Structure 1
Amino acid sequence: MRIVQILPLLVASILAYFVLYAPQPLFPLLSISLGLSETQTGLLTTATMLPLFIAPLTFGRLLSKYSPERLLRISLLLLALTTTGFVLANDFTLLLVIRFCQGLLLPVLLTSVMTLTSRCAGPTSIKQAMSAYVTATILGGLFGRLISGFFADYSDWRYFFYLLSVLLVVMACAPFGRENTSAVQDDQINWHDIKVLLFDRGLGYVFLAVSCLFFIFSAMMNFLPFRVSDLNSEASGIFISLMYSGYLLGVVTSLLSSKLSILGGGDHRTLMIGFIIYTLAIAMTVFNDINILFISLFVFCGAMFLVHSIAAAWVNTVAGEKRRLVNALYLTFYYLGGVLGSVLPGLVYEWFGWNYFVVVLILAAAIGLMSISKIKIN
């Protein structure tokens, strides 16, 4: 498999994560302008992630009836429309509605991308293809935040979202491959298949682990701007955005996940090591030093995306003919963790402070580690 074969799919993933995460560096600004608390502002992420965990399965009929190519194009166009709406809205409730609508579209887009990516790769290149997909999502999360922060400081944040809308429309016209309606009919989503995958094939532990993984990650990324502002009250939008630079190490660990797995003694052992390092990085953030926070985020992101890459590749390897269902389940559990992580730890942070917030994340990491210890990966 050559990377050029899936390049349009990777670009679509990057733009999707622009939509999802670009508002985060603007949270302190939006909090002040709209008179919101930290938790209320964090709902702008929660509103998008809520349908992200519900939709992959509840949209089962839609995903089975239409080709992923067609669904991908439609979701890109509608995301462009809602992104423009986000700029024009001046009411918090309306912003939440728009973000919720984006959350309905993103799982359709991402499930289509994952399905098309694994189809293009074939059985022999799934690991490499899924690593490339995860890398694209990392780049989208990083540069979406960086660019929106840059526009907020040096121009107007709204201009970035107008530009993003245009890029989404252009991407909807890109060549994703030949329309293939027959290929989607053999992967119907039903509850019996879900039960088999979760319990008989042992994927339930993997999905619980990735749910904990993203619970932690979502919490950390969502409330990081407020932590930075606590440690440095003069932090600008671009300064806050640069705190997400740890994503760069995530790019490295994602791309090298296959090699790192071999060095770690296999997928299972590497997942365990990754979760342990993840936990240590969380603990490092208790120090009231912005330099230590910056360093810890590199370790944090590197460990997170290593685990994410290996887990995503493995579930596609064992999916067999139910690849679309497995990807839908993966996204469902992944974003369920994101929904809970974008709200619950924030309440702890608001009421009790950062150290107790960290304790909650470490407990979630312990659950994820125990889940990893129970799975069996060949």
Structure 2
Amino acid sequence: MKNQQLMIIIYVILVVFSIMYATQPLQPLLAKEFNINMVQASQFTAVIMFSLAIAPIIYGYILESICPKKMLFVASLILLVTNLVLSYSNSYEMFLTIRVIESLVIPAIITSCMSILANSDKKNVKYNMAIYVAATVFGGMVGRVISGFIATEFGWRAVFISLSIALFFALFFIKKLSFEGDTNLTKAKLSDVVEILKDRRFVLIYSLMFTTFFVFAGLLNILPFRMKELIPNATESQIGLLYLGYGMGIVVSLLSKKIIKLLKTESNTILVGALIFTLVNFSFFSDNMIFVFFMLFVFCIGMFTIHSVSTGIANSIKESQKSLTSGMYLTFYYIGGAVGSVVPAIFYQLVGWNFTIILFISVLILIYTLFFIYKDDFK
């Protein structure tokens, strides 16, 4: 029964993360369709990132305690309807408004899924969370690759219709979940947040992940426009294939313990990931998209090495208030993604591709140097 529950949650996560990132390879197409610029097209992904950032803080105030199964069903139903409406959008304003509505329900679905995973099988929480991370990564990859393929073959509207069909099946599966418990959500008191941020280790880890995800989300967000710039007749299907390297996140997240053991300490592992992640940015100066495609695999290895280890550190520094420290980690992580989904697009539009890559390399060198200086804090 527990395996069935796990499979249902994995399926829901795959569909939801596919919806989150489905717009990314379609951005040049949507920009043309709605006659908008690169920065406006980037907002379709950024709004969801921003909502995921504030959700861990806001949800505790809106909902004292919730039934995750009920919230999962209702939020998924709303998401199904909004996706169908997206497929009929005929203006930038309408499309963005619907994405804003989606951005409010997606965190509810993710929160519910995590609650069910954490509380339905308490003996295997760590294993379930590793599976959860792998499922989010796989969903992000599938959403980008499949949406590019569907858009090329059947048009961009078919992408959102097909995702709605996938959600329709998810509703049937959610009904089969046996979990009936409530989840008590943490209210983030300002005094507790300030207390946590007085600890330099938290500030370092949060800043590290903010910057890393800023660069990661930023590059993946402007990449479709770069490909269109270099290869004007590139199809959405070809653009979607660029995101196959994202799959390396599954391998890294599942092998993170072995990688830490090999490199002796968590700090060393983060620094090795940081070195890979920074150096690979230099390869993006290349005009050869096939070379860039292969380098994206290395880029993702670096990113997910840092992410998988940093998550563990953020959860282990403080014995108490784990839900608040991990919630704050997610807040900094997704704010980095939201800012990264917009600011690099502005840079790219104003000063071009090469200067944007220089921006990425500069901020990474700064934050990783700081982490190197204070790495002994994590012993």
Q: What's the TM-score, normalizing by structure 2?
A: 0.90
Deviations 1:27-80 (A, max 9, x none): 111111211222221121223223222232122223442133333332222211
The aligned counterpart of 1:192 is 191
- Percent identical: 30
The aligned counterpart of 1:99 is 99
TM-superposed deviation, 1:188: 3.4
The aligned counterpart of 1:47 is 47
Once residues 246 and 117 of structure 1 are traced to their aligned partners in structure 2, the CA distance between those partners, rounded to angstroms, is 27
Once residues 34 and 361 of structure 1 are traced to their aligned partners in structure 2, the CA distance between those partners, rounded to angstroms, is 29
Alignment CA distance shift 1:93-1:111 (3 Å): same
The aligned counterpart of 2:110 is 110
Once residues 154 and 52 of structure 1 are traced to their aligned partners in structure 2, the CA distance between those partners, rounded to angstroms, is 31
TM-superposed deviation, 1:372: 3.8
TM-superposed deviation, 1:236: 0.9
The aligned counterpart of 1:273 is 272
The code of the aligned residue for 2:292 comes to: L
The aligned counterpart of 1:61 is 61
Once residues 30 and 300 of structure 2 are traced to their aligned partners in structure 1, the CA distance between those partners, rounded to angstroms, is 26
Please, which runs of 5 or more residues in structure 1 have no aligned partner? Answer: none
Once residues 305 and 178 of structure 1 are traced to their aligned partners in structure 2, the CA distance between those partners, rounded to angstroms, is 31
C-alpha RMSD of the superposition: 2.4
Once residues 202 and 122 of structure 2 are traced to their aligned partners in structure 1, the CA distance between those partners, rounded to angstroms, is 21
The code of the aligned residue for 1:22 comes to: A
Once residues 246 and 264 of structure 1 are traced to their aligned partners in structure 2, the CA distance between those partners, rounded to angstroms, is 23
The code of the aligned residue for 1:19 comes to: I
Alignment CA distance shift 1:322-1:67 (3 Å): farther
Once residues 64 and 327 of structure 1 are traced to their aligned partners in structure 2, the CA distance between those partners, rounded to angstroms, is 19
TM-superposed deviation, 1:312: 2.2
Alignment CA distance shift 1:6-1:321 (3 Å): farther
Alignment CA distance shift 1:291-1:10 (3 Å): same
- Aligned ranges 1:132-171 → 2 under 5 Å: 132-171=131-170
The code of the aligned residue for 1:74 comes to: V
The aligned counterpart of 1:365 is 364
Q: Does 1:256 find its partner at 2:252?
A: no
Query: Retained in 1: the 8 A contact 2:274–2:303?
Result: yes
Q: Does 1:335 find its partner at 2:334?
A: yes
Q: Does 1:324 find its partner at 2:323?
A: yes
- Aligned ranges 1:336-355 → 2 under 5 Å: 336-355=335-354
TM-superposed deviation, 1:361: 1.1
Once residues 34 and 22 of structure 2 are traced to their aligned partners in structure 1, the CA distance between those partners, rounded to angstroms, is 18
Query: Retained in 2: the 8 A contact 1:131–1:309?
Result: no
SS in 2 for 1:276: helix
The aligned counterpart of 1:227 is 226
The aligned counterpart of 2:179 is 178
The aligned counterpart of 1:207 is 206
Question: Does 144-153 or 302-311 show the bigger shift?
Answer: 302-311
Question: Does 65-74 or 219-228 show the bigger shift?
Answer: 65-74
The aligned counterpart of 2:244 is 245
Alignment CA distance shift 1:329-1:349 (3 Å): same
Query: Retained in 2: the 8 A contact 1:130–1:313?
Result: no
SS in 2 for 1:202: helix
Deviations 1:260-307 (A, max 9, x none): 111122222101111111111112101111122111101011111222
**Paired residue total:** 375
Query: Retained in 1: the 8 A contact 2:117–2:125?
Result: no
Alignment CA distance shift 1:145-1:258 (3 Å): same
Query: Retained in 2: the 8 A contact 1:74–1:172?
Result: no
Question: Does 213-222 or 320-329 show the bigger shift?
Answer: 320-329
Alignment CA distance shift 1:328-1:113 (3 Å): farther
TM-superposed deviation, 1:122: 4.1
Q: Does 1:291 find its partner at 2:312?
A: no
Query: Retained in 2: the 8 A contact 1:21–1:141?
Result: yes
Query: Retained in 2: the 8 A contact 1:56–1:329?
Result: yes
Question: Does 167-176 or 130-139 show the bigger shift?
Answer: 167-176
Query: Retained in 2: the 8 A contact 1:77–1:172?
Result: yes
Deviations 1:91-116 (A, max 9, x none): 10111111112112222222333344
Once residues 250 and 154 of structure 2 are traced to their aligned partners in structure 1, the CA distance between those partners, rounded to angstroms, is 28
Query: Retained in 1: the 8 A contact 2:201–2:378?
Result: no
Q: What's the TM-score, normalizing by structure 1?
A: 0.91
SS in 1 for 2:25: helix
Alignment CA distance shift 1:194-1:176 (3 Å): farther
TM-superposed deviation, 1:318: 4.8
Once residues 139 and 55 of structure 2 are traced to their aligned partners in structure 1, the CA distance between those partners, rounded to angstroms, is 21
Query: Retained in 1: the 8 A contact 2:67–2:181?
Result: yes
The aligned counterpart of 1:74 is 74
Alignment CA distance shift 1:219-1:121 (3 Å): farther
Once residues 364 and 358 of structure 1 are traced to their aligned partners in structure 2, the CA distance between those partners, rounded to angstroms, is 10
Once residues 322 and 112 of structure 2 are traced to their aligned partners in structure 1, the CA distance between those partners, rounded to angstroms, is 11
The aligned counterpart of 2:307 is 308
Query: Retained in 2: the 8 A contact 1:38–1:346?
Result: yes
Question: Does 117-126 or 136-145 show the bigger shift?
Answer: 117-126
Alignment CA distance shift 1:72-1:207 (3 Å): farther
Deviations 1:140-190 (A, max 9, x none): 111101111111111233223122123224324424452222x516x4332
Deviations 1:295-345 (A, max 9, x none): 110101111122222222333345655343334322211111011111111
SS in 2 for 1:25: coil
Question: Does 338-347 or 153-162 show the bigger shift?
Answer: 153-162
Once residues 189 and 123 of structure 1 are traced to their aligned partners in structure 2, the CA distance between those partners, rounded to angstroms, is 27
The aligned counterpart of 2:89 is 89
Once residues 150 and 351 of structure 1 are traced to their aligned partners in structure 2, the CA distance between those partners, rounded to angstroms, is 30
The code of the aligned residue for 1:244 comes to: Y
